[in-house]
């Protein structure tokens, strides 16, 4: 829910699909005089390494759309704060819907519509931790329900392999963009890969998702490295 969802006008620009309504184009977009949709929804995936400002950009995008009168929902999974919100390392926070294995993003939108809450877009933070089904649901929200979906996440895990959901987003998204806020390796080169560090050593085997942080004191932490130093396992002079 957005902060001002309760005050959102209930005037709806499009018919409300009921639960189970899967008519093709079940929520038809308004059309211009030439018959083309006035607004074509899109699935966009913004990716980058840890610390590159993905969550900050997600919340900025939510703010920009809300300011233009659009209404959206923010979702996340395994946020650093371990609560139902998106938090950023520069101190911004926004309440968010926690994405669980059982959550169907289409139901999330349908339920909001059923309550008279408009949903023009979804902001899906930490999308690389979602299931493959969630990515398919994102595509369906765009194609059948004309809801924009903006997903933000890591591309690769600590082994430098694509997360399954990130791979599917690369395959399905209308637009894929690398976030341009650079995070630097200790050597000054552009950071690209997320190294998992356990007791001061780069590890390359283990569970795909282990909660850690990027502060030096944690047992498990992550450090963004350039490819050269990721491959050599060199954490730099401060490690």
Q: Where are the beta strands (DSSP E) in the chain?
A: 43-47, 72-76, 85-87, 93-95, 97-98, 121-124, 148-153, 175-178, 193-198, 201-203, 220-225
43 closest CA partner among 162, 164, 153:
153
If binding is defined by CB under 5 A, does position 122 make contact with Zn ion? no
Helix, strand, coil proportions of the chain in percent (round to 5)?
25, 25, 55
If binding is defined by CB under 5 A, does position 226 make contact with Zn ion? yes
Encoded tokens for 238:
């401060």
User: Where does this chain touch Zn ion (CB under 5 A) — which range of 2-10, 117-125, 204-212, 219-227?
Assistant: 219-227
Nearest distance from residue 232's CB to Zn ion, in Å? 9
Give the list of residues 6+ apart from residue 37 with CB closer than 8 angstroms, or none: 29, 30, 31, 146
Nearest distance from residue 187's CB to Zn ion, in Å? 3
Residues 185-214 within binding reach of Zn ion (CB under 5 A): 185, 187, 189
Q: Report CA Rg, the chain.
A: 19
Nearest distance from residue 181's CB to Zn ion, in Å? 18
Options 95, 115, 126, 205, the catalytic residue: 126
Which residue number, 66 or 226, has a Cβ lying nearer to Zn ion?
A: 226
- Residue 125 CA to residue 31 CA, distance in Å, equals 30
Nearest distance from residue 52's CB to Zn ion, in Å? 15
Which residue number, 164 or 233, has a Cβ lying nearer to Zn ion?
A: 233
Three-state DSSP state, 7: helix
Q: How many residues bind Zn ion (CB under 5 A)?
A: 5
User: Where does this chain touch Zn ion (CB under 5 A) — which range of 15-23, 25-33, 126-134, 221-229?
Assistant: 221-229
Q: Please, are residues 185 and 191 in contact by the beta-carbon 8 Å criterion?
A: yes
What torsion do the CA atoms of 31, 36, 39, 42 make, to the nearest 10 degrees? 140
User: Where does this chain touch Zn ion (CB under 5 A) — which range of 55-63, 92-100, 116-124, 228-236?
Assistant: 228-236
- Residue 204 CA to residue 84 CA, distance in Å, equals 30
What does the longest C-alpha to C-alpha distance in the chain come to?
64
182 closest CA partner among 31, 94, 53:
53
Which residue number, 162 or 186, has a Cβ lying nearer to Zn ion?
A: 186
Nearest distance from residue 92's CB to Zn ion, in Å? 29
Which residue number, 122 or 235, has a Cβ lying nearer to Zn ion?
A: 235
190 is catalytic: no
Which residue number, 187 or 211, has a Cβ lying nearer to Zn ion?
A: 187
Options 57, 117, 229, 235; binder of Zn ion; rule CB under 5 A: 229
Mask 17-46, x = binds Zn ion (CB under 5 A)? ------------------------------
* Catalytic residue positions, numbered: 126
Interface with Zn ion (CB under 5 A)? 185, 187, 189, 226, 229
């Amino acid at each position: 829910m957005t902060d001002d969802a309760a005050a959102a006008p209930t005037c709806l620009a499009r018919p409300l699909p009921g639960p189970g309504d899967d008519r093709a184009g079940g929520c038809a977009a308004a059309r211009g005089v030439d018959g083309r949709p006035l607004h074509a929804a899109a699935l966009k995936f913004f990716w980058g390494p840890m610390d590159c400002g993905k969550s900050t950009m997600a919340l900025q995008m939510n703010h920009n759309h809300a300011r233009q009168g659009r209404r959206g929902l923010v979702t996340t999974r395994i946020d650093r704060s371990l609560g139902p919100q998106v938090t950023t390392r520069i101190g911004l926070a926004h309440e968010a819907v926690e994405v669980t294995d059982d959550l169907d993003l289409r139901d999330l939108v349908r339920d909001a519509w059923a309550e008279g809450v408009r949903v023009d877009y979804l902001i899906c933070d930490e999308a690389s931790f979602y299931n493959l089904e969630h990515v398919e649901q994102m595509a369906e929200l765009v194609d059948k329900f004309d809801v924009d979906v903006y997903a933000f996440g890591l591309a690769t895990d600590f082994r430098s392999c694509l997360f399954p959901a990130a791979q599917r987003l690369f395959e399905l998204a209308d637009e894929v963009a690398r976030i341009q806020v650079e995070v630097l390796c200790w050597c000054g080169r552009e950071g690209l890969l997320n190294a998992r560090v356990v007791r001061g050593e780069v590890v390359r085997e283990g569970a795909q998702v282990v909660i850690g942080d990027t502060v030096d004191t944690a047992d498990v932490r992550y450090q963004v490295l350039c490819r050269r130093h990721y491959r050599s396992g060199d954490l730099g002079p401060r490690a």
